[in-house]
Amino acid sequence: MNLVSTVIGYPYIGENREWKRCVESFWNKKIAEEQFTAEMKSIRLNNLKHQQALGLDLLTVGDFTFYDRMLDVAAMFGLVPNRYNWTGDEVDLATYYTMARGGNEAVACEMTKWFNTNYHYIVPEYEGKQPQLTKNYILDYFIEAKEELGVIAKPTIIGPFTFVQLAKGYDGKSKNSFLVKLLPLYVQVFQELLEAGAEWIQVEEPALCLSLNEEEIKLVQEAYTYLASELPKAKLMLQTYFEALSAYKELTQLPVAGFGLDFVHGAEENILSIRKYGFPQDKVLGIGLINGRDIWKADLVEKAAATQSLLLLSGVKEAWIQSSCSLQHVPVTTKSEKELDVTLNAALSFADEKIEELTQVTAYCVGAGTSNKNSLKKSKQAIEALAQHKTRNNTNVKQLEATVKAAHFSRPLSFKERQSLQQTALNLPDFPTTTIGSFPQSDQVKRTRTAWRKKEITDAAYAEFVKNETARWIEIQEDIGLDVLVTGEFERTDMVEYFGEKLSGIAFTKFAWVVSYGSRCVKPPIIYGDVEWTSPMTVKEIVEAQELTEKYVKGMLTGPITILNWSFVRDDISREQVANQLALALREEIQALEDAGIAIIQVDEPALREGLPLRKEKWNEYLRWAVNAFKLATSSVQNETQVHTHMCYCEFNDFIDTIRALDADVISIETSRSHGELIHSLKQNSYELGIGLGVYDIHSPRVPSVAEMENILNDSLEVISKEQFWVNPDCGLKTRREEETVKSLKNMVAATQKLREQLSQTV
């Protein structure tokens, strides 16, 4: 039996976010392109050296990126939209980053969630032109590892079916032709890798875990039959993750050398498929054993036993013991975390620790591990110690959960009845303008917060600074002419972290960063115990802001499902139970805001959709309890209190019933990069509650013109009535600069005023 330890991918950001600092220095023109590429190479090679030192048998290249791997493949194949005025040949960095971030002359490509994760990828755009191989960057990475480290690594690339499934710009009829045009380019990439000495090529096809129809199965079969005919000597490891392989019987017969299966998130179905259909004896089995999406130590005794059972069940002669997906979804290492609860820290496993787990299980299963049996048992001891922790046995939370009734999940009046009461109570103008919540976190804000966290300034001094910054932005908002204001959230580092720090049962790390999109990194909270509200979290700041203006200031909370989906969540109870604990805590905060006189309360759920299972047949169960958690948090308010929410990158057609079921008085949707698609969707699916369509893209530094936003507003009026219509940016403004933010918002208000004037003249 030949067993090999490997990972599908490794975090590229570096233990201390070296990658982020390098990229942002280049964007800000602090370093030249030559220095930038040299530093990126150093980070890339150091990542490989580190994995090698941890004992991995087979290293991976191609998991590194300058921004996003879907964008990398699009650039490699010359799929550059016409608006970027690309002239052919290799895609230069200026064009590459304009596609990702936008520029003065062209908007960025659309960005959306990578399956059901919190990572955002750049959506490739197919405009019908012939793709071409501009530069085989994966070959460069392979040769680099070979020449610099003497390593024959495993190149990895996003597979053709997944790439086409996640791209846009084609209809059902042109999808096949798009794939057919790409396949010769994949052949060329693979052939060059083979000629350079690559022994294995990992082809990532997570889309094969989606619900596939007969036509899609046939398309995959034809694609890989073509690749095999053109590359008879290529050893392709077809890698799946996030779920079980769909159409197992048919797809495991594809002419590839190996199949990587997820035995964490797709364990039950994949095992049943192997029992029913067997596993091809001429292929290598990739056993996705260690969870690449959570941070909990694995029970290695259990994992070793599961591996041995799978080896016996499949009957394979060769297997890879690997992570269930790329480790880019977890932080780099626990070694830097010195301030966590000792029992909790002992039960954590980040990317480096997961590699150690893989190597331990591999060594044990090949028979060299009899001496490390006690080491395997240590993981179970750490897990059991956490189970006994006092925060997992909070009687207050248990008692509160027991009081929940069916009536807690709905508001007493319908939206139409509430709308009438709210219009009278709030007396807002037509097309009320507002923002999503956050304003630019200036260098001064960041420095002051850092000084406070380091205890270089007092709590009182920090509170006074936040109060003054809030007051400054209240004045700015009034000067801009916004109708409903926000505090700007200057006291908050992150929309989840801020609340997690004030709730019991949640822990925070110092250095456990993961990438959300581009160079945007987050430190997800760790929900490790029962969640309890102990005191008001936002009331002081919102009341102070409201006292400064006669306009309404929104209360701003992060919803229970977003806190859940943007956290690392305990795995000893159901996610539904954790969601309800969060909802009950937020319910108490909402009551405190109402008691303080706050009339508009926004409970954001930008991550609601990303919790969806990959298979549509599993959606309803998740959506049932996710919607209920939001309603449990928000349904206690008075009828006159207006509840807002916000969502990111939502496929409206797929999700309209869920959005409606939330029963929020107003929803703002992040749609500026795909506005036309949403307008088309609303023509097909009417929506009767309040809605704000994001009229400009906050992820781009460009300032949209008044005319540009006027066009969006006029288009929106075709599908949204005046009584429903709110106007806002498409997301929070935390990452933007003050100057561009003020200019953009002034243009937004000017466009809204023109719309009001236009409609008043037609009455």
Phi, psi of 644 (to 5 degrees): -105, 160
20 known member of a binding site:
yes
Annotation says 265 is catalytic: no
Amino acid at site 403: T
Considering the candidates 50, 265, 675, 699, report the single residue annotated as catalytic.
699
731 known member of a binding site:
yes
274 known member of a binding site:
no
Residue in 226, 147, 146 with CA at minimum distance from that of residue 190: 226
The DSSP letter of residue 436 is -
CB atoms near residue 220 (< 10 Å): 24
673 known member of a binding site:
no
617 known member of a binding site:
no
2 known member of a binding site:
no
Buried b (16+ CB within 10 A) or exposed e, 688-727: ebbbbbbbbbbbbbbbbebebbbebbeebbebbeeebbbb
H-assigned helices in 15-159: 18-27, 33-53, 69-76, 93-101, 137-149
323 known member of a binding site:
no
670 known member of a binding site:
yes
Residue in 393, 426, 646, 624 with CA at minimum distance from that of residue 529: 393
The residue written with tokens 């080896």 in the block is 311
365 known member of a binding site:
no
CB atoms near residue 672 (< 10 Å): 25
Q: Looking at the chain, how many residues does it have?
A: 763
447 known member of a binding site:
no
639 known member of a binding site:
no
69 known member of a binding site:
no
Q: Token digits for 486?
A: 């926000």
Q: Which residues have C-beta within 8 Å of that of residue 645, sequence separation ≥ 6? A: 559, 602, 603, 604, 605, 630, 662, 664, 666, 667, 668
The residue written with tokens 């090529």 in the block is 201
Distances (CA, A) of 510 to 16, 340, 513: 11, 9, 8
The full DSSP string for 573-640 is: S-HHHHHHHHHHHHHHHHHHHHHTT--EEEEE-TTTGGGS-SSGGGHHHHHHHHHHHHHHHHTTS-TT
650 known member of a binding site:
no
390 known member of a binding site:
no
325 known member of a binding site:
no
Q: Which residue ranges are tagged as binding site for Zn(2+)?
A: 646, 648, 670, 731
Q: Specify binding-site residues.
A: 17-20, 113, 118, 436-438, 489, 520-521, 566, 604, 610, 646, 648, 670, 731
By annotation, the residues acting in catalysis are: 699
Q: Which residues sit in the known binding site for 5-methyltetrahydropteroyltri-L-glutamate?
A: 17-20, 113, 118, 520-521, 566, 610
> Which residues are part of a known binding site for L-homocysteine?
436-438, 489, 604
Binding residues for L-methionine are 436-438, 489, 604
